[in-house]
Structure 1
Amino acid sequence: MDTPRETLEVGKKLVEFCKKGENMKAIDQLYSPEIESLEAMSMPGMPDTVRGLDAIRKKNTEWDQAMEVHAMDVEGPFPFGDRFAVHYKFDATNKKDKKRMKGEEVALYTVRNGKIVKEEFFYSM
């Protein structure tokens, strides 16, 4: 099990990547091949749970292709043992229907052996 300090370092690196909009670099460098990603609910074309690096990359690519992000605020990490939370706020427009939306979510990440093995997203619906 990682120490709280090691978990904090992974969290800091993730937040740094996200603030720069470098999500794919974060995935490549910080995520375990056995990563599991859980959303609060499934959406059309996206299940609530995906596993593996390829599935995580696909999920992120689909978001980038579907949304124009005007602003992204990333706060954290907030560590606790082998986990840390990050608070995200975004302002984005759906490229298909041109609907602009603002949202926020909290993500909880679990770290093992210096890699993120699980991400869970919490948001209001």
Structure 2
Amino acid sequence: MNIREIAADMVAMTKAGDFHIGEKYWADDVVSIEAMDGPMARVEGKDAVMGKSAWWYGAHEVHGTETFGPFVNGNQIAIRWTMDITVKESGERRHSDEVALYTIEDGKIVEERFFY
């Protein structure tokens, strides 16, 4: 698959409610970088990033999402999401607006960065 086909597939998956694009596309040595401090700010390796993803979905109830994009430049893909979520621990319901920037090499995500 070329970069535009990967981007289109990632967006189609999320628009269909499947946010497990990483499990399909993460490289074994993927790096995930969040726009925050703390233990989840930078996670390295497919297993660790899968654990971070599982933690996030376990800590939040997702009521709805909208997907925008993809936006492609060279070997990078940007996708924007808006989400209606509840933080399970506090019960706080909030609206989130996030952009993910994926760097692709050999058909796999080698780095993902989140902006919110």
TM-score of the pair, normalised by structure 2: 0.91
Distance in 2, Cα, partners of 1:22 & 1:75: 15
Q: Which amino acid aligns with 1:59?
A: K
- SS of alignment partner, residue 77 of structure 1: strand
33, 42, 47: which one aligns with 1:38: 33
Distance in 2, Cα, partners of 1:22 & 1:53: 18
**Structure 1 runs, 4 residues or longer, greater than 6 Å off:** none
50, 59, 77: which one aligns with 1:84: 77
- Residues 76 and 48 (structure 1 numbering): CA distance in 2 closer, same or farther, change over 3 Å? same
Distance in 1, Cα, partners of 2:59 & 2:40: 16
TM-score of the pair, normalised by structure 1: 0.85
- SS of alignment partner, residue 13 of structure 1: helix
Structure 1 unaligned residues grouped into runs of 5+: none
RMSD: 1.5
4, 7, 10: which one aligns with 1:11: 7
Q: Which amino acid aligns with 1:33?
A: D
Task: Report if the CA contact (8 A) 2:40-2:52 is conserved.
Answer: no
Q: Which amino acid aligns with 2:101?
A: L
Q: Alpha-carbon deviation of 1:78?
A: 0.3
Q: Alpha-carbon deviation of 1:71?
A: 0.6
Q: Alpha-carbon deviation of 1:114?
A: 0.8
Counting matched residue pairs gives 116
What are the residue-to-residue correspondences of 1:44-83 with 2, within 5 Å?
46-83=39-76
